[in-house]
Amino acid sequence: MRKPLVMGNWKLNGSKEMAKTLVAGLKQNLADVKNCDVAIAPPVMYLDFVREQLSGSAINLGAQNVDTAVSGAYTGDISAQMLKEMGTKYIIIGHSERRTYHKESDSFIAKKFAVLKENGLIPVLCIGETEAENEANQTEAVCARQIDAVLETLGAAAFKDAVIAYEPIWAIGTGKSATPAQAQAVHKFIRDHIAKKDAEIAKQVIIQYGGSVNDSNAAELFTQPDIDGALVGGASLKADAFAVIVKAAAKAKS
Half-sphere exposure of 121 (CA within 13 A, CB side): 31
Find the binding residues for ligand 13P in span 211-240 (CB under 6 A).
211-213, 231-235
Nearer to ligand 13P, 100 or 254 (CB): 100
Nearer to ligand 13P, 99 or 253 (CB): 99
Which residue is catalytic, options 95, 97, 129, 187? Answer: 95
Residue 191's contacts (CB-CB under 8 Å, 6 or more residues apart) are 202, 203, 205, 207, 226
Q: Is 49 exposed, middle or buried (0-12, 13-18, 19+ CB in 10 A)?
A: middle
Nearer to ligand 13P, 198 or 215 (CB): 215
CB of 176 to ligand 13P, least distance (A): 9
Which residue is catalytic, options 17, 167, 193, 220? Answer: 167
Backbone phi, psi, residue 124, to 5°: -110, 95
- Exposure letters 31-40 (e unless 16+ CB within 10 A, then b): eebeebbbbb
Instruction: Using CB under 6 A, pick the residue from 42, 168, 210, 229 that binds ligand 13P.
Output: 210
Q: How many CB atoms lie within 10 A of CB 183?
A: 24
Scanning 80-88, 104-112, 195-203, 205-213 for contacts with ligand 13P by CB under 6 A, the matching segment is 205-213
CB of 212 to ligand 13P, least distance (A): 4
Q: Which residue is nearest to ligand 13P (CB)?
A: 233
Q: 3-state DSSP call for residue 138?
A: coil
Torsion angle of C-alpha atoms 182, 186, 191, 194, degrees rounded to 10: 180
Residue 75's contacts (CB-CB under 8 Å, 6 or more residues apart) are none
CB of 207 to ligand 13P, least distance (A): 14
Nearer to ligand 13P, 147 or 169 (CB): 169
Find the binding residues for ligand 13P in span 15-74 (CB under 6 A).
none
Backbone phi, psi, residue 125, to 5°: -85, 110
d(C-alpha 78, C-alpha 74), whole Å = 9
- Contact between 172 and ligand 13P per CB under 6 A: yes
Scanning 30-38, 71-79, 149-157, 209-217 for contacts with ligand 13P by CB under 6 A, the matching segment is 209-217
- 187 carries an active-site annotation: no
Scanning 12-20, 45-53, 69-77, 207-215 for contacts with ligand 13P by CB under 6 A, the matching segment is 207-215
- 129 carries an active-site annotation: no
Taking alpha carbons only, the member of 207, 159, 5 closest to residue 90 is 5
Which residues does the annotation mark as catalytic?
95, 167
Binding interface with ligand 13P (CB under 6 A): 9, 95, 167, 172-173, 210-213, 231-235
